Structure 1
């Protein structure tokens, strides 16, 4: 894998797996988790600046779901956490089990997925989401659960799942649509297209192969400046298609309608 990183770094200027970079980061983080980890990661490489727009739309207390697009991958949560942790220190994100091992239990409502991103722990995940909302916490959920593809220079966000709407309706928690103005590097989309082509035109296969670049994409974002947007609060039970439309509309020119 380090050989692949060397070739990729020589050819593109960016490692594919970023194994050496990951090792250095883990040593620097020194087993931090939770808020300390988020702040430490965002302080790397001279400091990452996250500018929040519409923060007034998120209640300072009480149960709320933040339904967001998922443009990047792992870095999406760090961007939202950088914008929100001082405003909502009780923020948790619904994310894959592997994220729990990195971020720690305090920030995660874990979900187990199969290779097609189908939820294997729907009942447990739903119970975890409801429990956090019952404790009047803030919950970040990526509506589609999948990173979008790129076509004609615009992101194509997959359809949003119904989980946000159903949990919101059951708990009575309102929903704030959200989106970060970010995209992955051209190397990510090139890898995804090539893998999909080699997989017989299967973009799902391409997405899985390209997901191996998520750590490299995260590292490449550190030290930059990013804008994160939060829209007007929506009533509990708002339909996923409307939430997706509202979230994408927060960053004109980023998503294909």
Structure 2
């Protein structure tokens, strides 16, 4: 069932809420929407889980709020969803930018309603290199992506999607992801890229108090596998599972392994 939930700025947050049982709350990556998790939805629904897919602001069917775009605001949107749906003991699942949003949510809202956390290809603790931080993209490269969004967003998305995979996908699947990304607000895509370039989640990771599963592809070209070492050092209770045959898009490259790994963790 599709629902719209009001955020604190009186904007609407689009949510798909289907099934019954223990809730799994999914936060998508940049520049997609909740539909990117369809193979996880198909796997968990018949196993007795409630699936809640959230479109982050400016993506999918959610409103864009241009006055403020930050991980704080995205985390507050997630809080609005958790409160409106009265979720308790949920498993929060984030991919890439969605994983970074989940990290900020856990720190900013003290794990409200969340029993366990799953971080997939997380863009954390930081997405770009800095003088004191040598893992990630060069700031100039992200700035170039931001410039491309402003002059040729379809080409930028096409180039980005090509970098996601280690196992080359069928063209029709790649095109489906591209079309999903094209549905997003152009300005929301730009604002979220600026957000990822500027924000630091190092201190947030230290505040995570629930058991956390970290899934990451060893061939990831978007968020280096090196990030897992930093996350595992900062998150008190964590389990790192490497995906040897995966790039950034674990949900495609090793779908079965990802689903089985998530299920084992959920059942513990």
* TM-score between both structures, scaled by the size of structure 2: 0.36
Larger radius of gyration: 1
Q: Identify which of structures 1 and 2 has the higher relative contact order when contacts are C-alpha pairs closer than 8 Å and 6+ apart.
A: 1
Calculate the TM-score normalised by the size of structure 1: 0.37
